[in-house]
Structure 1
Amino acid sequence: MDQDLIAILMFSTMMLMLMTGQRVFGAIGFVAVMAALFLWGTGGSDIGFSAAMKLMKWYPLLTLPMFIFMGYVLSESRIADDLYRMFHVWMGGLRGGLAIGTIGLMVLISAMNGLSVAGMAIGATIALPELLRRGYDKQMVTGVVQAGSSLGILVPPSVVLVLYAMIARQPVGQLWLAGVIPGLMMAAMFIVYIVVRCRLQPELGPALPPEERNMPMNEKLKLLRAGLLPLGIFAAMMVPFVYGLTSLVESSAIGAMTAFLAAVLKRRMTKEVFEVSVRQTLGISCMFMWIILAALGFGAVFDGLGAVKAIDALFTEQLGLEPWMILILMQLSFILMGTFLDDTAMLVIVAPLYVPLVGALGFDLVWYGVLYTI
């Protein structure tokens, strides 16, 4: 059988399995194993072992459980609630102020937990009921929570960028620093949109009545101090890393430890909080490791088939497309896949195929990592 046809069958079978509701790592891993055995017989079984060894030797992978644990400690100990109360009081007097505060909350949640799912859960449980109770438009509220939670995969520490760094073999630190400004720009654009829209249509986001937002200044400052605690945790983690005083793994350990100590000092680190945080960390970390393992195996088979070179030749030589046109087609494909896949699933599916192609087209892989994430 022609190798190009095998590559097409691999990708088509994987997409079909995902559309039928199969688990991401199961679909990718199954297709990779079956293709390897078909092509190389029993020798193809070595691909899984080599991918596992490559995964276990990747030192920055230790950051994954650290950041997930940090985020869940801050979430389960209700420290994130303090953030929302701070924005509620300080921003509630503006039209659309609570929606603006929700975007600010999402930015800070993203800085504490690099998962968009975690931001979505916090926004849906804390901000969504309050916004609806205050008479905010349902469509705007849904858009605010959705858009704000998407910042979790761009603002460091982004777990998705860690996975991209693993697959694309790029430095995680550079990817994080490259994602800061675009993430803040997107948050600013969301806020500007809310301000303009609520000024034109005040009924979409009414301001809080004076009796609810009037509070003694000492109480406001107390709320501000409680809300700035997560910022202090983020600074303790990222500032030494930016100045080269700590490595990536050391910074993640500092973040996890400071989050734990903050919960202890606020007397919120109960047995239940600790148990839930550890269980969630173990579950999500194992899930990501299985996904990465399957993606590495899939990418190894694709490389062995020479599929990337064949696709490059198809677009550039046979169709005569310019590199920028190919890049636009890649971005458009995310719209289709985003209808039934989340960000992590899309990354592990397309990265083994797109990343080598992007490199062959002459684009910087760190730049493309941020572009993909956006």
Structure 2
Amino acid sequence: MDSLVQGLIIASFAVLLFMSGMPIAFALAITALLSVLVFLGPGQFDLFGKMVFDSINDFGLLAIPLFVLMGNLFGGSQASRQLFEAGEAWLSRIRGGLAMSSVAASTMFAALTGSSPATAAAVGRVAIPEMEKRGYSARVSTGAIAAGGTLGILIPPSVTLILYGIAAEQSIGQLFAAGIVPGIVLALMFCIWVFIAQTLDMRRAESEGVKTGGQAFARAVKRYTWNERFTSLLKVIPFGLLVAAILVVLYRGIATPSEAAAIGALLVGIMVLGIYRGLTGRGLMDVLLDTTNQSTMILLITAFSAVIATVMSYLRIPQDLAALVSEMELNRWVVLLIINVVLLVMGMFLPPVSIIVMVTPILLPLIISQGFDPIWFGIVMTINMEIGLITPPVGLNLFVLKGIAPHIPLKEILIGSAPYIVVMGLAIALFSIFPEIVLFVPELLYQ
């Protein structure tokens, strides 16, 4: 049987299990087990357990539960409120400034959580009620939070980039360095759209007010003194110093990602209890339980996806796919476009973790054969995963927002989030045309 046909059979069976509604980890486990039995033979059944063990017997994976713990500790404290208030103090006078401060808070919060749903939930709980008080529409407020939350998997430290680095055998430090500038650029692009969206919203509301004889749209603006603005920054300084310290020890090679995550988790615990506060004994227990649940889910998905990838590699599916594309003599940009479309479709149904671990070993030979940089591709792939977080039918951030703001119709959240899909698509195009935007920092730090 042709290797590509075998790969199609494995993929089709996995999709059927995903559509059944069973947990992703279990669907991948069944697919992995049957792939070993069918394509390697019943005599190789004992390899299944060995491959599962080998796939997670990696010191680098220890960084995942530790970074998840860091994010959950911050999410359970008052850090998100203080970050939002600092952003509001500096941006509230700008049109759409409150929504921009949500994006800014999400950007900073993402730098320590590494989780998009956690970022959207933590910032959204604080920001959405405040924006509603100031007259922001549900579309503008929820769209900014949903999109800002996606930055959690791009801005380092990122669980997604750690998994990509392990799957692609690339430097996690370089991937973290590569995510800094694109994360900032994407946050600025989000803010530009917030300004446009708020302007359109105000004009629409004013027009409706004139037609109906009602009051024109008005938005209350909370005014801050310069003293209050600089005081708000003091609350962010410990947070900023911790992020900077983690990144410095990583980029200088002082510590591995796992060691940096361990130190970071310890310092975050001290900061949350001593500075940001908000965690009671019960709250701390909830944080630890959530961390255990999330980490177990990620590692199970990682283990079983890795088994599937190993079987596909044994069947030479990645190599044959790369050879087929080379024989077709397609333009490298056409190949990249096709890959992005496939990733976008997958992101609509699967979480980023499973896609990264399962697909990276297949796509990497193809990407390298087309002359693309694997570090650069890791960032492009991650942005594509961001799009999936706000794309129906399984856009996780959309349902997180619906959960914390049940009074807002899901339709309004979808409409508010949709333009950011285009913004992220433009960002992918920008980084494809100018890859030095992505590669500048890693080349500077790792020459």
Give the structure-1-normalised TM-score: 0.91
Distance in 2 (CA, whole Å) between partners of 1:98 and 1:277 is 29
Distance in 1 (CA, whole Å) between partners of 2:342 and 2:258 is 34
Alignment partner, residue 13 of structure 1: 13
Matched AA of 2:190: F
Query: How far off its partner does 1:196 sit?
Result: 4.2
- Judged with a 3 Å threshold, the aligned counterparts in structure 2 of structure 1 residues 165 and 32 are, in CA distance, closer, same or farther, namely same
Superposed, which structure 2 residues align to 1:53-72 within 5 Å? 53-72=53-72
> Does the CA-based 8 Å contact 2:367-2:374 persist in structure 1?
yes
Match of 2:290 among 280, 283, 289: 280
Query: How far off its partner does 1:178 sit?
Result: 0.8
Matched AA of 2:11: F
Alignment partner, residue 124 of structure 1: 124
> Does the CA-based 8 Å contact 2:178-2:376 persist in structure 1?
yes
Superposed, which structure 2 residues align to 1:102-181 within 5 Å? 102-181=102-181
Match of 2:234 among 219, 225, 231: 225
Query: How far off its partner does 1:193 sit?
Result: 2.5
Match of 1:302 among 306, 312, 320: 312
> Does the CA-based 8 Å contact 1:93-1:209 persist in structure 2?
no
> Does the CA-based 8 Å contact 1:92-1:208 persist in structure 2?
no
- Judged with a 3 Å threshold, the aligned counterparts in structure 2 of structure 1 residues 272 and 289 are, in CA distance, closer, same or farther, namely same
Give the structure-2-normalised TM-score: 0.77
Match of 2:324 among 283, 294, 314: 314
> Does the CA-based 8 Å contact 1:93-1:208 persist in structure 2?
no
Alignment partner, residue 22 of structure 1: 22
Distance in 2 (CA, whole Å) between partners of 1:155 and 1:5 is 37
Distance in 2 (CA, whole Å) between partners of 1:18 and 1:157 is 29
Distance in 1 (CA, whole Å) between partners of 2:68 and 2:156 is 12
> Does the CA-based 8 Å contact 1:298-1:352 persist in structure 2?
no
- Judged with a 3 Å threshold, the aligned counterparts in structure 2 of structure 1 residues 370 and 311 are, in CA distance, closer, same or farther, namely same
Q: Which of structure 1's runs of 4+ aligned residues deviate more than 6 A?
A: 204-207
Matched AA of 2:314: G
Aligned identity (percent) is: 29
1:353 is the counterpart of 2:362: yes
Query: How far off its partner does 1:208 sit?
Result: 5.7
Distance in 2 (CA, whole Å) between partners of 1:354 and 1:333 is 11
> Does the CA-based 8 Å contact 1:331-1:372 persist in structure 2?
yes
> Does the CA-based 8 Å contact 2:174-2:375 persist in structure 1?
yes
Matched AA of 1:338: G
Deviations 1:326-352 (A, max 9, x none): 221010112222322232233234223
Matched AA of 1:209: A
Residue aligned with 1:362, SS = coil
1:369 is the counterpart of 2:372: no
- Judged with a 3 Å threshold, the aligned counterparts in structure 2 of structure 1 residues 127 and 44 are, in CA distance, closer, same or farther, namely farther
> Does the CA-based 8 Å contact 2:309-2:358 persist in structure 1?
no
Query: How far off its partner does 1:168 sit?
Result: 1.2
> Does the CA-based 8 Å contact 1:28-1:349 persist in structure 2?
no
Query: How far off its partner does 1:65 sit?
Result: 1.3
Alignment partner, residue 271 of structure 1: 281
> Does the CA-based 8 Å contact 1:47-1:297 persist in structure 2?
no
Distance in 2 (CA, whole Å) between partners of 1:208 and 1:83 is 22
Residue aligned with 2:231, SS = helix
Q: State which drifts further: 300-309 or 125-134.
A: 125-134
Deviations 1:237-295 (A, max 9, x none): 22232233333222212211111111121354421232112111111111111111111
> Does the CA-based 8 Å contact 2:56-2:299 persist in structure 1?
no
Residue aligned with 2:45, SS = helix
Query: How far off its partner does 1:219 sit?
Result: 4.1
- Judged with a 3 Å threshold, the aligned counterparts in structure 2 of structure 1 residues 360 and 53 are, in CA distance, closer, same or farther, namely farther
Alignment partner, residue 223 of structure 2: 213
Match of 2:255 among 235, 246, 250: 246
Deviations 1:148-198 (A, max 9, x none): 111111100011011111211111111110111111111111112223444
> Does the CA-based 8 Å contact 1:74-1:80 persist in structure 2?
yes
Match of 2:271 among 239, 262, 266: 262
1:195 is the counterpart of 2:195: yes
Matched AA of 2:220: P
Residue aligned with 1:213, SS = coil
- Judged with a 3 Å threshold, the aligned counterparts in structure 2 of structure 1 residues 219 and 361 are, in CA distance, closer, same or farther, namely closer
Query: How far off its partner does 1:369 sit?
Result: 0.7
Distance in 1 (CA, whole Å) between partners of 2:64 and 2:204 is 39
Distance in 2 (CA, whole Å) between partners of 1:296 and 1:104 is 35
Unaligned 5+ runs, structure 2: 206-216, 384-447
Alignment partner, residue 344 of structure 1: 353
Matched AA of 2:267: T
> Does the CA-based 8 Å contact 1:87-1:105 persist in structure 2?
yes
RMSD: 2.3
- Judged with a 3 Å threshold, the aligned counterparts in structure 2 of structure 1 residues 33 and 204 are, in CA distance, closer, same or farther, namely farther
> Does the CA-based 8 Å contact 1:96-1:207 persist in structure 2?
no
